[in-house]
């Protein structure tokens, strides 16, 4: 059974304060030359599968959607830097959702002080978390500690007490360079077409049953998700990745890779703009990835 | 080593177990080799020169192993991915030659002087030494390289 866990808690003052710290707060000012080609479809998930063919969307266990949306965005950005921008980096694994969530709720959201528990965060807090504190990853060795799975318990703990101080230096090595506000479909489409993912926080809900991969807007979800694809036909739409595992029923878009067919769907342009107009969604760019690794040789000195 | 790489290597070894190594008595044995592109022929020129001095048995073994390594890597599908990055391709090559060339055929390192270095140069130039994902393009290049290496020494009789 899929539990529709949500945890977007808007904080307009917090978001406004974050935006005031940015030299270029919006995509329009940060990337004035980003052109939008109204004939070109893109699906950023291909780059992720190129560097991590076994990738599957996880399912959050608590109201940590902001952590999952932003960790997914940072993971995707690292893959795009490698596969699309050909940056000399290596893939370091999926970003640990608990790290983004913990930094957003405690180090950013509560001035580093433990809170009283509960769930939830907001987009600008996560933006500040990944740009100021950075990210941790699954599978990396942090002084003998290796995270292999995300648990609701870990997210609850870090969401309450923050990311342990001893892990912060590792997180600081892998930051997102910038996050800029995206407020409508066209801006998000331009960002995605230029290989910048857009984590979105909104109150928009959807039916859990898709029609050929299209999401039907319905109800209210205080939820964070991730825009990471663009198509123009049959109608302009962005692909919206959820964090509830393979959660959607109905008929899928079979042109998508299987790992993305039921973990997200296409959201029409008007609904995208409605979601983005809440002014707590960002395009992210420039991931400080892992140093390229070298093979010692190809034949191990056998011949 | 990941379980999937182990499975791939096991598949390679099963091939040799089932079909056996080329035997020294098969002096007239031939295998069908695909002629590489002119570019790849140039890239493997040093290996070709060295392999022309190799025994018939070793040339046959060399060709068989590279052909099969290429074939196994080329058989990847989108839904059943074994070789995820260049580390797994290297493992496949190292283990295949450790078993077929070194252990079963009992060939010592440097039996053919310069062969190891020349082969390393071919891979370094074709694919490089970075740990990077196996994209369709990289897989194609790896298979082309294997095909060209398999061809080396061919036609000497």
Output helix, strand, coil percentages for chain A, rounded to the nearest 5: 35, 20, 45
- Over residues B74-101, the pLDDT tens digits come to 987 666 678 888 989 999 999 999 999 9
> Of residues A12 and B32, which shows the higher confidence score?
A12
The answer to whether residues A180 and A25 touch, using CB atoms and an 8 Å cutoff, is yes
Average pLDDT over residues B23-52: 80
Percentage above 90 pLDDT, chain B: 58
- Over residues A52-103, the pLDDT tens digits come to 988 999 999 999 999 999 999 999 999 999 989 888 888 999 999 999 999 9
Distance separating alpha carbons of residues A245 and A262, to the nearest angstrom: 8
Supply the mean pLDDT for chain B. Answer: 84
Say yes or no to pLDDT of A225 above 90. Answer: yes
Phi, psi of B100 (to 5 degrees): -75, -50
pLDDT confidence of residue B134? 87
pTM beyond 0.90, yes or no: no
Across the interface, whether the CB atoms of B90 and A82 are under 8 A apart is answered no
Supply the mean pLDDT for chain A. Answer: 94
Q: How, if at all, do strands A264-268 and A237-241 pair?
A: antiparallel
pLDDT confidence of residue B25? 43
Q: Which residues contact B100 (CB under 8 A, 6 or more apart)?
A: B16, B21, B61, B64, B65
What residues in A contact B127, CB-CB < 8 Å?
298
Say yes or no to pLDDT of B22 above 90. Answer: no
Which domains, from first to last, does chain A contain? 12-29+37-287 (3.90.70.10)
Kind and range of the H or E run holding A15: helix A12-20
First to last CA, chain A: 55
Across the interface, whether the CB atoms of A298 and B79 are under 8 A apart is answered no
pLDDT confidence of residue A38? 95
Each domain of chain B, given as residue ranges in start order, spans: 38-151
pLDDT confidence of residue A187? 95
> Of residues A108 and B131, which shows the higher confidence score?
A108
Q: Which of A296, A298, A300 to mutate to test the interface with B (most CBs of B within 10 A)?
A: A298
Distance separating alpha carbons of residues B157 and B155, to the nearest angstrom: 5
Residue B115 has a CB neighbour count (10 Å cut-off) of 24
Grouping H, G, I as helix, E, B as strand and the rest as coil, residue A205 is: strand
Average pLDDT over residues A184-208: 97
Apex B39 CA angle, B109 and B76, nearest 5:
70
What residues in B contact A301, CB-CB < 8 Å?
109, 116
Burial status of residue A78 (CB atoms within 10 A of its CB: 0-12, 13-18, 19 or more)? buried
Residue A50 confidence class, pLDDT cut points 50, 70, 90: confident
pLDDT confidence of residue B76? 79
What residues in A contact B98, CB-CB < 8 Å?
300, 302
The answer to whether residues B123 and B37 touch, using CB atoms and an 8 Å cutoff, is no
Q: Which long-range contacts (CB under 8 A, 24 or more apart) does B85-90 make?
A: B85/B131, B85/B132, B85/B133, B85/B134, B86/A295, B86/B127, B86/B130, B86/B131, B86/B132, B86/B134, B86/B138, B87/A295, B87/B131, B88/B2, B88/B5, B88/B8, B88/B134, B89/B127, B89/B134, B89/B142, B90/A295, B90/A297, B90/A298, B90/A300
ipTM: 0.81
Q: Which residues contact A13 (CB under 8 A, 6 or more apart)?
A: none
Q: Which of B132, B137, B153 to mutate to test the interface with A (most CBs of A within 10 A)?
A: B132
Among the partner residues A53, A82, A299, nearest to B84 by beta-carbon distance: A53
pLDDT confidence of residue A32? 82
Residue B14 confidence class, pLDDT cut points 50, 70, 90: low
Q: Residue A35: name the closest of A202, A192, A227, A251 by CA.
A: A192
Say yes or no to pLDDT of B2 above 80. Answer: no
pLDDT confidence of residue B13? 61
Average pLDDT over residues A213-237: 97
> Of residues A30 and A241, which shows the higher confidence score?
A241
Copy the structure tokens of residue B75: 């058989």
Residue A202 confidence class, pLDDT cut points 50, 70, 90: very high
């Amino acid at each position: 059974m899929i539990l529709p866990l949500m945890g977007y808690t808007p904080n307009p003052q917090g978001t406004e304060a974050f935006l005031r710290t940015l030299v270029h707060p919006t995509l329009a000012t940060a990337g004035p030359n980003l052109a939008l080609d109204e004939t070109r479809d893109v699906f950023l998930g291909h780059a992720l599968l190129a560097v991590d063919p076994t990738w599957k969307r996880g399912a959050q266990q608590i109201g940590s959607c902001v952590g999952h949306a932003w960790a997914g965005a940072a993971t995707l950005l690292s893959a795009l830097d490698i596969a699309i921008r050909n940056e000399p980096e290596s893939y370091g694994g999926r970003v640990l959702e608990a790290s983004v969530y913990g930094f957003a709720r405690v180090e950013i959201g509560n001035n580093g002080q433990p809170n009283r528990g509960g769930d939830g965060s907001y987009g600008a807090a996560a933006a500040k978390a990944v740009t100021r504190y950075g990210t941790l990853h699954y599978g990396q060795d942090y002084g003998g500690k290796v995270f292999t799975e995300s648990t609701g318990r870990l997210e609850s703990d870090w969401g309450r007490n923050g990311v342990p101080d001893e892990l912060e230096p590792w997180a600081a090595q892998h930051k997102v360079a910038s996050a800029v506000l995206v407020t409508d479909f066209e801006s998000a489409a331009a960002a995605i077409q230029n290989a910048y993912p857009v984590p979105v926080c909104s109150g928009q809900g959807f039916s859990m049953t898709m029609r050929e991969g299209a999401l039907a807007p319905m109800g209210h979800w205080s939820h964070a998700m991730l825009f990471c694809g663009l198509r123009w036909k049959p109608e302009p739409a962005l692909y919206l990745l959820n964090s509830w595992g393979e959660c959607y029923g109905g008929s899928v878009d079979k042109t998508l890779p299987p790992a993305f067919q039921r973990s997200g769907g296409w959201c029409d342009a008007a609904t995208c703009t409605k979601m983005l107009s809440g002014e707590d969604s960002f395009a992210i760019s420039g991931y400080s990835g892992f140093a390229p690794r070298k093979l010692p040789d190809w034949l191990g000195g056998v011949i | 080593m990941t379980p999937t790489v182990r499975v791939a290597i096991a598949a390679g070894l099963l091939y040799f177990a089932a079909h056996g190594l080329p035997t020294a008595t098969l002096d007239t044995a031939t295998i069908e080799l695909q002629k590489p592109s002119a570019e790849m022929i140039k890239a493997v020129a040093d290996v070709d020169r060295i392999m022309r001095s190799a025994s018939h048995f070793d040339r046959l073994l060399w060709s068989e192993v590279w052909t099969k390594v290429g074939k196994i890597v080329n058989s990847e599908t989108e839904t059943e991915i074994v070789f995820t990055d260049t580390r797994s391709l290297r493992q496949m090559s190292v283990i295949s030659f450790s078993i077929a060339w070194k252990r079963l055929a009992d060939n010592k390192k440097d039996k053919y002087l310069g062969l190891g270095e020349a082969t390393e140069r071919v891979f370094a130039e074709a694919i490089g030494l970075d740990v990077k994902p196996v994209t369709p393009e990289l897989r194609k290049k790896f298979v082309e390289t294997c095909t060209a290496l398999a061809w080396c020494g061919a036609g000497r009789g």
